[in-house]
């Protein structure tokens, strides 16, 4: 099973158009002893690739989804410029965090989304609203969960309110203060056919191979492999 989601993002106040394409691949990567699913995400600025990222999630038996690492490769004028913000759970003191609680409820305490001191990653989140109705770009979403996210290490960045729809994922992101505000709205959701899935698998595997070559942190992980 795989799905792709495309979004349209704008950075304020310059209003530079961005597009994000996120694909859940059929690849598996073992991180910190856990079999994770590989998600491949690309960020385009005015049609030019600015970031190509692999991140890794896994769901436990209780239903909580965990984030176990990120490899965000950046590009300038289409050329690879590095991946300094890479972190992997179990490497250099980094620890996994909660990507989505199993049963999010209003009034629950905040939770960490991961901790990587070497790259100053320390994001937190807390349920802000539940059961909301949101008029999206192409449909009305019911039972929407709203989560408030922030980084204690970077208060100047402000906060984000993220809106999640069941069976869809993130449908809207609203900035709350900060100097680098971004807004994100879901534009399309599609299930990949076999040909598109095979192409995504090939590209993600190539990025995984390159990452193990250029990043000392990422090099400590085994290669990603297709799901059995």
DSSP assignment of 111-145: EESEEBGGGTB--EEEEEEEEEEEE-SSSEEEEEE
Question: Residue 92 has what DSSP assignment?
Answer: T
CB half-sphere exposure, 91, CA atoms < 13 A: 20
User: Which residue in 149, 216, 207 sits closest to 29, CA to CA?
Assistant: 207
CB 82 within 8 A of CB 212: no
- pLDDT by residue for the chain (228 residues), tens only, comes to 333 333 333 233 334 578 899 999 999 999 999 999 999 999 998 889 999 999 999 999 999 999 999 999 999 998 999 999 999 999 999 999 999 999 999 999 999 999 999 999 999 999 999 999 999 888 899 999 999 999 998 888 889 999 999 989 999 999 988 776 678 899 999 999 999 999 999 999 999 999 999 999 999 999 999 998
Across the chain, how many H-helices and E-strands are there? Answer: 1, 16
What single-letter DSSP state applies at residue 27?
A: E
């Amino acid at each position: 099973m795989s799905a792709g989601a495309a979004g349209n993002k704008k950075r304020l106040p310059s209003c530079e158009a961005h597009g994000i394409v996120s694909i859940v691949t059929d690849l598996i990567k073992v991180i910190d002893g856990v079999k994770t699913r590989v998600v491949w995400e690309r960020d385009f600025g005015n049609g030019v690739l600015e970031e190509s990222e692999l991140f890794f999630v896994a769901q436990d038996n209780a239903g909580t989804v965990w984030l176990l690492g990120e490899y965000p490769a950046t590009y300038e004028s289409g050329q690879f410029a590095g991946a300094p913000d890479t972190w992997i759970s179990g490497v250099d003191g980094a620890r996994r965090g909660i990507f989505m609680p199993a049963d999010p409820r209003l009034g629950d305490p905040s939770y960490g989304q991961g901790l990587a001191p070497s790259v100053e990653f320390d994001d937190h989140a807390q349920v802000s609203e539940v059961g909301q109705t949101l008029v999206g770009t192409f449909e009305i979403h019911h039972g929407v969960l709203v989560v408030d996210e922030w980084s204690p290490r970077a208060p100047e960045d402000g906060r984000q309110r993220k809106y999640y729809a069941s069976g869809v994922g993130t449908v809207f992101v609203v900035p709350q203060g900060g100097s680098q505000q971004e807004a994100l709205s879901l534009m399309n959701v599609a299930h990949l056919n076999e040909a598109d899935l095979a192409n995504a698998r090939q590209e993600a595997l190539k990025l995984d191979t390159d990452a193990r070559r250029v990043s000392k942190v990422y090099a400590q992980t085994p290669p990603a492999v297709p799901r059995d």
